[in-house]
Amino acid sequence: MSESPRRHARELEGEIESLRGELGDLVSELDRRRHELLDLRLQLRRHPVAFGVAGVSVVLVLGGAVAVMVNARERRRRPTERARRLGKALSRMIDAPHKVAREPSVGEKILAAAGTAAASILVKRLMDRATAPVARAAREAREPRAIH
């Protein structure tokens, strides 16, 4: 079965075009499904029970987390708990006094100095920018105006 190369090339081109069309259709369908999936109103209409269960679950989890945090804070404020924590702190201080007030490392000192310098520059620039109109008005008030 000997085919001419041109005929074979045309058949391949036709097959490629057919595959491109199918691929284009698949990509379009995937894009449509993506839009549907990310359309919250549509999903809410399609799955109201799931959204309701999810909403109630979120409220319950957040409410539980708040309740746990409030309970823990109240427990920490009790005098017995505060005394227990103070005892632990004193015990740690006696066991390892060098850890209580350790000297910062050289790197920490350099980082602190750089942070302080950056903050100073930032505050100075902000103050200059905030007071520029006042300084300009004072300077103009001092300078005699030329009469034209």
Q: Domain for residue 39, yes or no?
A: no
User: Does some domain include residue 124?
Assistant: yes
Task: Report if residue 131 sits inside a domain.
Answer: yes
Question: What confidence score (pLDDT) does residue 64 get?
Answer: 96
pLDDT at res. 104: 86
Residue 97: predicted pLDDT? 82
Q: pLDDT tens digits for the chain (148 residues)?
A: 557 889 999 999 999 999 999 999 999 999 999 999 999 999 999 999 999 999 999 999 999 999 999 999 999 899 999 999 999 999 988 988 877 777 888 999 999 999 999 999 999 999 999 888 888 888 887 776 666 5
Tell me if 97 sits within 8 A of 89, measured CB to CB: no
Residue 19 lies in a domain: no
Cα of 120 vs its chain's centroid, Å: 27
84 lies in a domain?
no
The DSSP symbol for 1 reads: -
78 assigned to some structural domain: no
Here the tokens at position 2 are 């000997």
Tell me, yes or no, whether 127 lies in a domain.
yes
Residue 116: give the domain boundaries: 104-148
Element (H, E) at 119: helix 106-142
Q: Which residues of 40-68 are buried (b: 16+ CB within 10 A; e: fewer)?
A: eeeeeeeeeeeeeeeeeeeeeeeeeeeee
CB 63 within 8 A of CB 70: no
Count up the domains in the chain and report the number.
Answer: 1
What pLDDT is attached to residue 147? 63
Task: Say if 54 falls within a structural domain.
Answer: no
